[in-house]
Structure 1
């Protein structure tokens, strides 16, 4: 008898060719089909350089590798024909070419992007009327991501957020600032388990600023030492969007107007300063998903 209190798995599929589907409860794809839980562990490797003149090796860099997520399932059926029909329903869903976004009720606010590995579904034994099997997924990023981003409201009664996401308890963590007298310093909190780095790790990070005409804007992360500068255009109001390592001004590609600087965010609080040579920066907003290690 399967327990009524079981873990839940929600899946959203995006085919390599086709339209992204809505998220579903995985137990709806076949009758008497139940999710029993999953398991994943981080995979961290380090690269070292050898020199024939010296003992040992020199550390070069560390990298999170793809991980394997093992999801366990239980299938009950009345006879062989029922088994084959249910097996086809499961294979038809999980045997496709594309990316599956998965999340469980233990990590409601965190998602992982995976592709399916080869799997086998067989009765537990001869003439058995149930099957216990596992499906392996490759988490090709090796990391998990928040379902929401920093621009979403931080309330635990929302599906987007949960305990265990490193969010400060009872502390305001704004990601948007507006001051028509001119912004100066502010703090940005990164609750991720890792550094947000748009250049080396291709992390998602979008920064939007509004400033007036012909200003040289400088944005400094005083915690990391990162400096970004950009020269605005000859219009009364300029919308600067730093999307990763690319910049647009009023929707026009303008990376060449910058110093090619990259803003990163270390874990925890990051102290920022923004200055402008002529017109003040009137608003600034940070939008990025939080990134977590497998657990």
Structure 2
């Protein structure tokens, strides 16, 4: 058992620092309830609930061949966990999921013996979700570390995220994906007039009230809309497309000739 840490473009195996992972735990989701109270009303009215950030806790043993080597490893350890940027943390027991987190505690190495130390360190994930290491544009192959069991991936159907027909289905293995809160990119490549993309499962419809040519690309990037890198939000109906958990039925109209539509996103899990 070990952690994989992605930091500033580098991928680091915690074992390379002499670290033996004794424990890695995730705090449960914190529920933040919004309420309002009124005169002459018993109790309160709940107006909504959000999930808070997640606390992650790791316990490491630090092993050196000598007390001097242990001191050098401690210095390297301070360099590893000193960062103002988010890092990604992957538990080797679940290699297909990663947490975006920041270091959220100081730590002090307690000596077990002159060659061995032990310490606890806390991380904070600003989001309550971990995300899939792979994206929908990666091959769904369990021989790689991009995917794993326990990710709600269907075994009876092939997952396809590039389509060339007007009706198709898109599978979301994770939580409800709202592009206002989580990344989702939809790319349409081809000719169209009044392009309409409809998620029939959610009832949401995106409309581009103009045209595109055979070599043009229309991009829905979260809640922003582009045509060949030029913002076209003014010429759309200002709507976004979200994805429910499971299968989502789509219909595309206004196309002219051959086209391709691509869905690029990760899966998010509690």
TM-score (norm 2): 0.92
Q: In the alignment, is residue 51 of structure 1 matched against residue 45 of structure 2?
A: no
How far apart, in 1, do the equivalents of 2:69 and 2:209 lie?
67
Residue matched to 1:219: 197
- What is the Cα deviation at residue 27 of structure 1? 1.6
Relative to structure 1, the CA distance from residue 269 to residue 82 in structure 2 (aligned partners, 3 Å threshold; closer, same or farther) is: same
Relative to structure 1, the CA distance from residue 121 to residue 56 in structure 2 (aligned partners, 3 Å threshold; closer, same or farther) is: same
Q: In the alignment, is residue 8 of structure 1 matched against residue 8 of structure 2?
A: no
Residue matched to 1:290: 267
How far apart, in 1, do the equivalents of 2:92 and 2:229 lie?
39
How far apart, in 2, do the equivalents of 1:286 and 1:11 lie?
27
- What is the Cα deviation at residue 131 of structure 1? 2.1
- What is the Cα deviation at residue 234 of structure 1? 6.1
Secondary structure of the residue that 1:98 maps to in structure 2? coil
How far apart, in 1, do the equivalents of 2:171 and 2:15 lie?
37
Residue matched to 1:274: 252
- For the aligned residue pairs, the C-alpha RMSD in angstroms reads 2.0
Q: Does the 8 A contact of 1:232 with 1:238 survive in 2?
A: no
Residue matched to 2:171: 189
Any idea what the Cα deviations from partners look like across 1:207-263, whole Å, max 9, x if unmatched?
0112325x0011111111111101233645432111111111122111111000110
How far apart, in 1, do the equivalents of 2:12 and 2:65 lie?
25
How far apart, in 2, do the equivalents of 1:237 and 1:86 lie?
55
1:154 to 132, 140, 147: 140
Residue matched to 1:143: 129
Comparing 52-61 and 134-143, the one that deviates more: 52-61
How far apart, in 2, do the equivalents of 1:241 and 1:212 lie?
13
Residue matched to 2:104: 117
- What is the Cα deviation at residue 69 of structure 1? 0.6
How far apart, in 2, do the equivalents of 1:60 and 1:152 lie?
40
Gaps of 5+ in 2: none
Q: Does the 8 A contact of 1:216 with 1:231 survive in 2?
A: yes
More strand by share: 2
Q: Does the 8 A contact of 2:195 with 2:211 survive in 1?
A: no
Comparing 238-247 and 71-80, the one that deviates more: 71-80
Secondary structure of the residue that 1:212 maps to in structure 2? strand
Q: Does the 8 A contact of 2:173 with 2:246 survive in 1?
A: yes
Q: Does the 8 A contact of 2:88 with 2:101 survive in 1?
A: yes
Residue matched to 1:4: none
How far apart, in 2, do the equivalents of 1:174 and 1:74 lie?
43
Q: Does the 8 A contact of 1:178 with 1:284 survive in 2?
A: yes
TM-score (norm 1): 0.84
How far apart, in 1, do the equivalents of 2:217 and 2:70 lie?
59
Instruction: Give the number of equivalent residue pairs.
Output: 269
1:169-180 maps to which residues of 2 (within 5 A)? 169-179=155-165
Comparing 244-253 and 69-78, the one that deviates more: 69-78
How far apart, in 2, do the equivalents of 1:85 and 1:246 lie?
49
Residue matched to 2:57: 70
